[in-house]
């Protein structure tokens, strides 16, 4: 069975992620096939919009399939991951800049690489089961696939909060944070997809939309803004009150399990992207980290603890945020020169 179902349906190009048993985790081959389909439909006047959804009940896309990353890293192969990320990031940019509407249906888990496919679309639909997150710091990575741009664009300091905690957003949170657009009950999705394919017009979405429940993150916004505004991760930690509210208390629990170096770099990347709000800038900053992350070490250890051995006890290179040197962050995020991402149609 193919990992993707790609077809045309009326006036729509349709892509279904078809690895339900693996929570539709994204492989390198899937990235290339999605890109090929989008390129083909971009020049096809009979395709008016694109619909992307996921098979099964549990996930739109739980993230990238990183087991091969671990295997290649164990062999000392630094090129496998770098090639994968180059191709994946090119796809993320294509989705973000695509000239035709892309409608994504984000049920269940949409995380990491799934955010890169689902949340850069022009019309992003969520439901009661939606759980959206950028949990990369928990495996020694940073929010990538263009996610740093979404975090930089989030209201107030939500970007820093979500980036360093990996907190899971429900539908209302995702809409509040700018990762989704419309709340539609899942039992109406099939009818909507049929109508989208028949009309080729995303305006048909509007009658299906209902108000989302109240957002927890919206309720926490003032506390998050007050406590995640530091220039560095250290500034954020040092600013926390002795008697924290619910947002900081929740963050403390989540951040305790994450890689201190990754969280420090994530804050720096989000701030850099906020000073240059372009998808290319976001992907460039992220690639500086991912290009070096297999050699740096925390990423491979993070995969081991979470996916391979599943002992959930990663041995990070830094014991705490206080052990991370500014120089280490600077070196990790230095420009890549000839190895930097290249955009064939960049101005």
For residue 347, the model assigns a pLDDT of 36
With a CB cutoff of 8 Å and minimum separation 6, the contacts of 330 are: none
Instruction: State the average pLDDT over residues 12-27.
Output: 96
pLDDT per position as a tens digit, 213-264: 899 999 999 999 999 999 999 999 999 999 999 999 999 999 999 999 999 9
Is residue 206 pLDDT above 70, yes or no?
Answer: yes
Q: Cα 246 from chain centroid?
A: 25
Name the residue among 314, 270, 28, 331 with its Cα closest to residue 148: 270
Read off the pLDDT band of 285 (50, 70, 90).
Answer: very high
Range list of H helices, the chain:
28-42, 67-74, 79-97, 113-118, 147-153, 158-165, 171-177, 189-199, 216-227, 233-239, 246-255, 260-274, 279-296, 298-303, 326-332
When the pLDDT of each residue in the chain is averaged and rounded to a whole number, the result is: 95
**Cβ neighbourhood burial of 114 (10 Å; 0-12, 13-18, 19+):** buried
Q: How many CB atoms lie within 10 A of CB 185?
A: 11
The length of the chain is 347
**pLDDT band at 346; cut points 50, 70, 90:** very low
Determine the pLDDT at residue 1. 59
57-71, 82-96, 99-113, 157-171: which has the minimum mean pLDDT? 57-71
Q: pTM of the entire structure?
A: 0.96
Query: Nearest 10 degrees: CA dihedral of 155, 156, 161, 164?
Result: 90
pLDDT at 335 over 90: yes
pLDDT tens-digit readout, 179-188: 999 999 999 9
What pLDDT score does 297 carry?
Answer: 72
Torsion angles phi and psi, residue 298, rounded to 5? -60, -35
Q: What is the pLDDT of residue 71?
A: 84
Tens digits of residue pLDDT in 96-133: 999 999 999 999 999 999 999 999 999 999 999 999 99
**C-beta separation of 126 from 171 below 8 A:** yes
Residue 21: DSSP 8-state = G
Q: What's residue 121's pLDDT?
A: 98
**pLDDT of 289:** 98
Domains annotated for the chain, with CATH where assigned, are 4-339 (3.90.226.10)
């Amino acid at each position: 069975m193919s990992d993707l179902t790609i077809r045309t349906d009326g006036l729509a190009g349709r892509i279904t992620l078809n690895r339900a048993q693996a929570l539709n985790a994204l492989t390198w081959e899937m990235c290339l096939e999605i890109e090929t389909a989008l390129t083909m439909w971009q020049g096809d006047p009979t395709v008016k919009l694109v619909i992307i959804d996921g098979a099964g009940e549990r996930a739109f896309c739980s993230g990238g399939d990183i087991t091969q990353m671990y295997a290649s890293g164990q062999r000392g192969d630094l090129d496998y991951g770098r090639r994968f990320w180059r191709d994946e990031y090119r796809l993320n940019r294509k989705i973000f800049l695509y000239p035709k509407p892309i409608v994504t249906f984000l049920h269940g888990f949409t995380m990491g690489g799934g955010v890169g496919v689902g949340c850069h679309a022009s019309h992003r639909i969520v439901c009661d089961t939606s759980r959206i997150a950028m949990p990369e710091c928990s495996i020694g990575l940073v929010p990538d696939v263009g996610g740093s741009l979404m975090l930089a664009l989030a209201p107030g300091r939500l970007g820093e909060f979500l980036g360093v905690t990996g907190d899971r957003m429900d539908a209302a949170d995702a809409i509040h944070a700018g990762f989704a657009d419309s709340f539609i009950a899942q039992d109406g999705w099939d009818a909507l997809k049929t109508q989208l394919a028949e009309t080729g017009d995303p305006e048909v979405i509007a009658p299906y939309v209902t108000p989302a429940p109240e957002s927890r993150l919206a309720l926490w916004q003032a506390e998050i803004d007050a406590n995640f505004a530091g220039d560095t991760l250290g500034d954020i930690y040092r600013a926390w009150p002795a008697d924290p509210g619910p947002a900081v208390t929740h963050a403390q629990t989540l951040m305790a399990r994450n890689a201190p170096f990754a969280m420090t770099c994530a804050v720096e990347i989000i701030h850099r992207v906020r000073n240059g709000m372009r998808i290319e800038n976001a992907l460039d900053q992220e690639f500086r980290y991912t290009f070096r992350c297999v050699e740096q070490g925390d990423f491979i250890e993070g995969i081991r603890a979470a996916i391979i051995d599943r002992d959930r006890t990663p041995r990070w290179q830094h014991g705490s945020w206080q052990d991370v040197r500014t120089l280490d962050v600077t070196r990790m995020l230095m420009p890549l020169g000839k190895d930097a991402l290249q955009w064939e149609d960049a101005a």
